Amino acid sequence: LQVQECVDLALSSTRVRSTKEELPQITTKVSAELPLVQADGEWLVEVLNKLLDNACKFTSPQGEVTIQAKTNGNQMLEVTVADTGRGIEPNRLERVFDRFYQEEGALRRTTGGTGLGLAICRQIVTAWGGQIWAESAGKDRGTQFHFTVPIAESN
């Protein structure tokens, strides 16, 4: 499976489904030369979709979203979806993967959703033997979500 194709699919899906009037600027740095990965394509698109949707949801139209992929030397490809949006406090970086966890509590939120998305992403990524984690320099300083996916043996 080619990661670049999945990124393109997820990107067009995010653009079509977004209810925001204007999305942040989205840049992809994913080469077609990367090794093929061993994963179910629909699941990979699902994970990318979720991370892209969130990045766009929590970043203003003036901000930026970047998608990158690189080999990480462990027979894994590491995909990063980074945004310049509202960020996540250090003590919440793991909690965002809990089921139904939403930063501002469901009653106060204006951005919709159920809080299940990242929990599902973690299940999918774990099933193919990868890892998913979040990094952020803190409030209003953007967020980077990283996940790994095994490189196919046929490369």
Binding site for ligand ATP (CB under 6 A): 50, 54-55, 58, 83, 85-86, 88, 96, 101-103, 113-119, 143
Give the bridge partners for 133, in sequence order. 146
- For residue 85, the minimal CB distance to ligand ATP (Å) is 5
Report residue 115 as tokens: 């809080």
Choice between 6 and 55, CB closer to ligand ATP: 55
Query: How far apart are CB 20 and ligand ATP at their closest, in Å?
Result: 14
What does 71-119 look like in DSSP terms, one character per residue? Answer: E-SSSEEEEEEEE-SS---GGGTTGGGSTT--TT-TTT-SS---S-HHH
Query: Closest CB to ligand ATP among 14 and 54?
Result: 54
Q: Shortest Cβ distance from residue 72 to ligand ATP (Å)?
A: 21
Q: Which is nearer to ligand ATP, 69 or 82 (CB)?
A: 82
Q: By C-beta, is 90 or 155 nearer to ligand ATP?
A: 90
Query: At its nearest, how many Å lie between ligand ATP and the CB of residue 143?
Result: 4
Long-range contacts of 119-125 (CB under 8 A, 24+ apart): 120/46, 120/50, 121/46, 121/47, 121/50, 121/51, 121/97, 121/147, 122/97, 124/43, 124/46, 124/47, 125/47, 125/149
